[in-house]
Chain A
Amino acid sequence: MPSTQTPSITGLATDPTSLRADIGDAEVRRVDLAGLRALMEELHAQGYSMLLDLGAVDYPQRTPRFDIVYHLLAMPVKASSLAEVGTPKRLRVLCGVDGEQPLCPSVMDLWPSADWAEREVYDLFGISFTGHADLRRIQMPYDWEGDPLRKDYPLRGPARDRAPRPAFALKSNVVAGAPPSGRTLEALQAQVKAARERSARENEG
């Protein structure tokens, strides 16, 4: 929760990717959900042999709400020298998906490395991938509720109920709770006294 001492200057951009000046870090292509699968098959055939990364971004103010972000790399698929690899083509594909339970086609059959990446997006954003062989949570526990990386998911949970403090009945600065059975100050003092006497007896004997 941002405190008053660390002011949050929220940006006004609801769709930052559309405002982006050309940086030249990768070729960028935006595709709608219907054309995604066809484009991916085409790119795979064109020699984009490595699915470098697959992630998602949540833009709650925007329709479609989520962006799935693919980074592809055109890497030779045989042993190759530094010159043969050169600077491989890098491509970013952005695909918008929408809805409370969004659906997106899986690319796991084209690039098997998409397996864990898609599971992670499913786990943290709640976006399902049709055609994924084994879609289940990967980072969070299986019985977790909610999608942690969505913007409307809170950073912290509700404050835990404060555990009752260990209260001794006679201490005035502590709010007295119900002490556990027999653990009053007098009972403890009696125990300590008895233990001291016992050890003194053993030392004498």
Chain B
Amino acid sequence: MSTTARPTTPPEPMAPEVVSREGNSMVLSMGPQHPSTHGVLQIMLEIEGETVVKAEPEIGYLHTGIEKSAENLFWTQAQTVIERMDYLAPESNALCYALAAERLLGIEGKIPDRAQTIRVLFSELTRIASHCVWLGTHGIDIGAISVFFYCFDLRENLLDLQEAAGGARMHPNYIRIGGVNGDLPQGFLDRFDALLEKFPGRMRDLRGLLQANPIFQDRTIDVGTLTPEEAVRWNVTGPALRASGIAYDVRRAFPYCGFENYEFEVPTRTEGDAYARFLVRLDEMEESYKILKQVRKRLDTPGAIAIDDPKISAPPKETIALSMEALIHHFKIVSEGFRIPPGDAYASVESPRGELGYYIVSDGGNRPYRIRTRPPSLYNLQVLKHIAPGNLIADLVVMIGSLDPVFGEVDR
């Protein structure tokens, strides 16, 4: 019986130029299918025993060319692909894109109050939902399974609200250029009230499961420490920056959607380690809850939910049977979109992961000329190669979890 021929040389490491093989160290490729990498992150590790000497993250496994696709869609259609970048916080992406486009259109100050309130509502709901996924998966990475179920139960309630308003669970495409797509449906406020009632107790559960847990503390305290100088040099934003002591929050520094009229704190810590990031995110969820309670009061006031300009925001669907102009406007927006005057603009929002920004360029046509994303996950993840060396592989898992990257956004 003949044996099948085997290649005589071992396969080359995937990126041999990245890490060298010297002394007692060895090269380990972690991922891209490793469960703790939260998607498709590959890290080329040079290790001595279990200590990381050098870490080089390899990204791009989820690259889908969203920026290129968006250049070939209408301004309104581009929103659908843009929501798919940060798939855990779609409303943040949609909001930021809409703000940038509105800036170019010059209608920034004309968005009705109720539309702004609804935007705030969804940007905070999506923040809590995203932090729920982070907390659940971070817990699983460390070995605490049960917290995952509590988190996803709460997230499901939040997604139900998204579905009620926008019609889809994950990518509702509800925030549009000029306002939002339709008013909140009947019965929405009752469900919202029920959620607000449930939230504080569930938050106590989440804190109770992990915050004082000695195993969790042992795994996260003094792991992946970032000083404020390092965080700024490496362009880290969001909860990771605030856990290092710098109270930079886009909602306060460059207010949008009337965030200057809401009362909330910007939680900060000074330790800068994974445990500090954990505490900052938990505090943030409670601050979001405070904002939601203020939103609830304002939602009682009825009002317009989109800018009064049928060239940009299509009139309500039911009017097309009654008014010829409404039908024409609908047809125009669906069949050829609208044009945006030439120019470039940058707008940013505080997404759950940090400063999410869009630099958009219009050449005066009905499609975006260029959409450049400032992805918070990309820059937050980049710091990993700075903080990983000298730590154990097991701590690397904690660091990835505490930076909370989303690969739809890192790779786009």
Contacts and interface: CB of A to CB of B under 8 A. Distances in A.
Given A23-B104, A111-B235, A8 B366 contact: yes
A160 interface: no
B357 A53 contact: yes
Interface stretch (B67-75, B199-207, B293-301, B308-316): B67-75
A50 B238 CA distance: 14
A7 B74 CA distance: 10
Nearest to A92: B346
A52 B74 contact: no
A12 B366 CA distance: 11
Interface string B341-370: 011111100000001010101111111011
A71 B6 CA distance: 53
A75 B245 CA distance: 12
A58 B374 CA distance: 17
A113 interface: yes
Contacts, number: 170
Interface residues of A, number: 62
Interface in A81-116: 81-82, 84-88, 90, 92, 111-113, 115-116
Contacts of B65: 148
A69 B68 contact: no
Interface in A1-52: 2, 5-14, 16-17, 19-21, 23, 25-26, 49-52
Nearest to B375: A53
A8 B367 contact: yes
Contacts of B386: 112
B339 interface: yes
B355 A52 contact: yes
Say what secondary structure dominates the interface of chain A. Answer: loop
A80 interface: yes
B232 A77 contact: yes
Q: Taking each of A11, A51, A58, which has the highest tally of chain B beta carbons within 10 Å of its own beta carbon? A: A11
B342 A25 contact: no
B254 interface: yes
A139 B244 CA distance: 29
Given A8-B366, A113-B233, A79 B72 contact: no
A97 B40 CA distance: 34
B170 interface: no
B68 A57 contact: no
Interface in B358-401: 359, 361-367, 369-370, 372, 374, 378-379, 382, 386
B326 interface: no
Contacts of B228: 76-80
A112 B233 CA distance: 6
A169 interface: no
B379 A113 contact: yes
A76 B63 contact: no
A186 B210 CA distance: 66
B191 interface: no
A14 B336 CA distance: 21
Given A8-B366, A81-B247, A52 B357 contact: yes
A138 B359 contact: no
B223 interface: no
B310 to A, nearest CB: 18
B155 interface: no
Interface string A147-179: 011000101000000000000000000000000
B87 interface: no
Contacts of B229: 77-78
A40 B361 CA distance: 23
Nearest to A55: B372
Nearest to A113: B235
B235 A138 contact: no
Contacts of A92: 346
B411 interface: yes
A14 B253 CA distance: 34
A140 interface: yes
B199 to A, nearest CB: 25
B275 interface: no
Contacts of A140: 60, 63
B400 to A, nearest CB: 16
Nearest to A138: B60
Nearest 6 A-B pairs (CB), nearest first? A79-B245, A11-B363, A11-B364, A113-B235, A20-B343, A11-B365
29 contacts: A6-B336, A8-B366, A9-B339, A11-B362, A12-B363, A12-B364, A16-B343, A25-B347, A49-B232, A49-B233, A52-B355, A53-B359, A71-B374, A76-B246, A78-B229, A80-B228, A80-B245, A85-B247, A88-B248, A90-B254, A92-B346, A112-B234, A113-B233, A113-B382, A115-B382, A138-B59, A139-B60, A142-B15, A148-B65
Given A71-B374, A79-B270, A153-B68, 9 more contacts: A25-B346, A49-B232, A50-B233, A76-B232, A78-B246, A88-B253, A90-B254, A112-B233, A113-B379
